[in-house]
Structure 1
Amino acid sequence: MADIEPRPPALSEALPSMAYRSWFLFIMVLVSASVQGERYLMVVMVEPIRRELGLSDAAIGMVKDMIIAIVYILAIIPLARLADRWSKRKIVAIAATVWSAAIIVCGAAKSFWVLLIGRAGIGLGEGGFTPPSQAWIADLFPIRQRATALSIFLLGASLGTFLGPAVGGWAVQEYGWRNTLIFASIPGFILAPIVWFTLRDTRAGLADGAPAAKGPAISFLQTARELMAIRTLPPLILAASLNALLTMGFISWAPAFMERTHGMPANEAGLQMGGALFFGSAIGHTVGGPLADFLGRRDMRWYVWILMISGAMATGIGWLILTGSADRVFPLYGLNMLIGGLSAAPLMAVVAGLVPSRSRATAIAVLMVSIQVIGLGGGPVLVGWLSDILRPIYGEDSLGMAMRWALLVGVPSTILAWIASHSCRTDFAAAGGWNGAAINHAIH
């Protein structure tokens, strides 16, 4: 995609009031809940869709998850590049319209291919929403408040992941899967004009006191070289991706593990798992940002140390999950999600704070692609592959043994985060926006 010239610095140089920024965060939480809810809504309508459209399980797997991941990965970096050079407000509003229209396409689908196109639209909308929303938050909140703001933002994802299947399951029973999908499109169509007309674009780097960008836009290859030259960034992104690999490997196989190892029915395991994941992630996301901002005032390395500590602790809790009794498994899963959730907002704050403000959305996109490919894509596959290899030796216990071997991923992830912490203070200082003068000037 051709680079677009930066907008002239005609935006206000004054940081908006806290009242406006609170409204902004509230709307971003709702928008995030909308796209997450629409993405995960289909988990409760697999059977009626499969029966009515005559789809195989493989086809269901493609439309439910794989096509969204493929389109998301392909679209997110080009759309992030656009967000770094155009209006984040307009991109977010358009993205909400796209995924809302896509869910209507899904509801009207009479064939596999139409359903596939609709689900692809959801992936496109999500890819257009993630980088500009996080970069926009970074432009509005100074670094000492940023992790807290991102924690609030992450509540939208937890809320959508919970409400989509919960409300959707009831609606499918009452109104059928097609009408449920039509109803689900309404929030996005309401929120898109609210974003367009009540929010306003903010100059990149405003909250950090950075000067307005001048000159022609740099190419993607130049941007990539610039990002990879930040010593903290590569090991930090890889550590986060390995943590995601471990987390997704455990989550995706949890019901099967409970059925094979403890004899628990899959539907009961799924229900308990959903509750544990929601409450654990919601608490972790809520606490992680304020905790990082509090500790970061004493030593900025805490923004990275939280990722390192949470990865190491999650590995230890994973061992307890696999070796403990059945009644401890889901409380420990909830604790694992809480510990892992602590690092989400600090991680986003560090990535946004380390890179030039003109490249924030692109850096966030690189992080998300790495997490999607290594974590969400690699975790379930790694555990399944190990289980197949170990089956001739352990039989039905091979899955549990494979999950134990997967815990070894926690070792390099912890080491990489520790390596990242060594250079982060120097990189923070070089990035600017972390000094007290800039922060005090930005806070009203």
Structure 2
Amino acid sequence: MSSAATTSSTPAYSAGYRNAVLWLLVLAYTFNFVDRTIISTIGQAIKVDLKLTDQQLGWLGGLSFALLYTTLGIPIARLAERTSRVNIIAVAIVIWSAFTALCGTATSYVQLLLFRVGVGVGEAGLSPPAHSLISDYFEPKKRASALSIYAFGIPLGTMFGAMAGGWIAENLSWQAAFMAVGVPGLLVAISIKLFVKEPPRGWADRQLALADEPPAALGQEASEAGAPSAAPAEAPPSILAVGKRLFGSWGMFHMIAGITMASFAGYGTGNYAPAYFVREFGLGLAVVGLVGGLVAGVSNGAGTLLGGFLTDWASKRSLRWYALVPAIGLILATPIYIYAYTRESWQMAYAILLVPGVLHYTYLGPTFGVVQNAMDTRMRATAVALMFFVLNLIALGFGPPFCGWCIDQFARAAFTARGMAGDFLTACPGGNAPDGSPAELAAACKAAMNEGTRSGIVSNLLIYAWAGVHYLLAAITLPRDIARAQAAKAG
């Protein structure tokens, strides 16, 4: 068959269409993070209303969500290696959006906890198939950039969730905030189902070789997309094989350890950052949501995009930059974060926070890009699911409750140091003295809560530097490890 015939029978996706697909997936990831992280913005209102400890609040934003989110990600990814990734994503969005809205009907801590588990069930179905789709639409040299654009949904979701959630919780209720952000996701699910096409597996990787390969080499998915095929789709490699590729080398192991510890610090401190500004400076939820959301959206968004584009450019000189860019960013960001959270002015604190977010969020695109470039076409969704299993079980599952536990312990110590009798958690339910308490107790509760929140957040910020060290260690062997992975793909 001629080269021209081969090319014409292969699905053609214009750059404009591929970019439109990418930004539609960004929109899905934005709603994913709106629904996932809104708990941090309205958490103070939930804490006071339901009389919770900070550790209980951490479980709502942590393990309750992460438990099924992480475990279901793997079987969903295995399904995505064989069937339509577009269908999986659309169904997943419907599920998590519905459960987010249901959170607004909760009247107790246990109900809210169970509905948060349901949100995690739905959100497990987005990123593994989405990463696989993006890697089929964009060639390796553009993959870190494309995945950093996808990851741009994280700061966008955090920003919009903070701004909308804070205003609604203050002017209506925290229940209304859940309902308002849950329902629009259904429109995103419909848009993805109608607009996004399922590309052949490895479409982007094969574009340069089309002139020399018959279309049958593209497998069954190519036939479904319009190219003739005589060969059935090959079975995806085993989970063990994917895990060995993902964790089996020094460089890849430390890349995964780096993203896990950076996320542990991010989920933990991020869960209590809005509460810190409410408690320490007496700001309303609407102000905290608006200002905090804008600061996070601008700085974290800039860092996310910068990380992907910078490493794709720098990696032409050395593949070590996939690890060095995150390492430098995380280590430099740590002291700036701590400086921001020890200021006496909320305006100064927020102004300073514009800087470390740009540095710290450079880790997402490079890590996602390295993982996808190291995998065969039918390993990619599973690799993302395995990475997120480790990352989210540790970071999302235990980051918020660990930070909350630290805040509780520092608050208890501060309460005792003020000469108050009894335990802080008992004497100050929800962080406040009971109605009608003596002025001395009310003042002690407030002061201990503020001091505990600041100390707990600052102690957890040090984990960013720990993550940076892992990326430095990854840089030692990363070029060799990626070369071996690519050789294994070719073989």
Settle same-fold status: TM greater than 0.5. yes
Give 1:15 deviation, angstroms: 5.6
Instruction: Tell me if 1:421 matches 2:475.
Output: yes
Q: Which moved more, 1:298-307 or 1:124-133?
A: 298-307
Corresponding residue of 2:134? 137
Please give the TM-score of this superposition, normalised by the length of structure 1.
Answer: 0.80
Q: Is 2:68–2:120's contact at 8 Å kept on the other side of the alignment?
A: yes
Three-state SS of the structure 2 residue aligned to 1:334 is: helix
Instruction: Tell me if 1:22 matches 2:19.
Output: yes
Give 1:359 deviation, angstroms: 1.6
Please give the TM-score of this superposition, normalised by the length of structure 2.
Answer: 0.73
Corresponding residue of 1:204? 201
Q: Which residues of 2 match residues 216-227 of structure 1 at below 5 A?
A: 216-227=235-246
Structure 1 residues 242 and 300: CA distance shift in structure 2, 3 A: same
Q: Which residues of 2 match residues 165-244 of structure 1 at below 5 A?
A: 165-170=162-167, 181=178, 184-209=181-206, 215-244=234-263
- Which runs of 5 or more structure 2 residues have no equivalent in the other structure? 1-8, 210-216, 220-232, 419-447
Give 1:149 deviation, angstroms: 1.4
Corresponding residue of 2:354? 334
Give 1:243 deviation, angstroms: 2.1
Q: Is 1:105–1:114's contact at 8 Å kept on the other side of the alignment?
A: no
- Which runs of 5 or more structure 1 residues have no equivalent in the other structure? 1-11, 439-444
Q: Is 1:15–1:207's contact at 8 Å kept on the other side of the alignment?
A: no
Q: 2:273 & 2:331 partners in 1: Cα distance?
A: 20
Instruction: Tell me if 1:282 matches 2:310.
Output: no
Structure 1 residues 409 and 185: CA distance shift in structure 2, 3 A: closer
Corresponding residue of 1:5? none
Identity between Structure 1 and Structure 2 (%): 27
Q: Is 1:42–1:165's contact at 8 Å kept on the other side of the alignment?
A: no
Larger gyration radius, structure 1 or structure 2: 2
Query: Can you list the C-alpha shifts for 1:68-94, whole angstroms capped at 9, x where unaligned?
Result: 222212222222222223221111011
Q: 1:228 & 1:267 partners in 2: Cα distance?
A: 45
Give 1:170 deviation, angstroms: 4.6
Structure 1 residues 243 and 116: CA distance shift in structure 2, 3 A: closer
Let me know the Cα RMSD of the aligned residues.
3.8
Give 1:155 deviation, angstroms: 2.6
Q: Which residues of 2 match residues 6-405 of structure 1 at below 5 A?
A: 13-14=10-11, 16-41=13-38, 55-57=50-52, 63=60, 66-107=63-104, 115-170=112-167, 181=178, 184-209=181-206, 215-254=234-273, 263-265=280-282, 267=284, 270-271=288-289, 272-321=291-340, 326=345, 328-383=348-403, 388=409, 391=413
Q: 2:200 & 2:183 partners in 1: Cα distance?
A: 31
Structure 1 residues 345 and 423: CA distance shift in structure 2, 3 A: same
Give 1:55 deviation, angstroms: 4.2
Q: 1:71 & 1:425 partners in 2: Cα distance?
A: 35
Q: State how many pairs are aligned.
A: 420
Corresponding residue of 1:8? none
Q: 2:315 & 2:146 partners in 1: Cα distance?
A: 15
Structure 1 residues 294 and 380: CA distance shift in structure 2, 3 A: same
Structure 1 residues 226 and 42: CA distance shift in structure 2, 3 A: closer
Give 1:311 deviation, angstroms: 1.7
Three-state SS of the structure 2 residue aligned to 1:200 is: coil
Q: 1:185 & 1:258 partners in 2: Cα distance?
A: 26
Q: Which moved more, 1:216-225 or 1:342-351?
A: 216-225
Give 1:280 deviation, angstroms: 1.2
Q: Is 1:255–1:266's contact at 8 Å kept on the other side of the alignment?
A: no
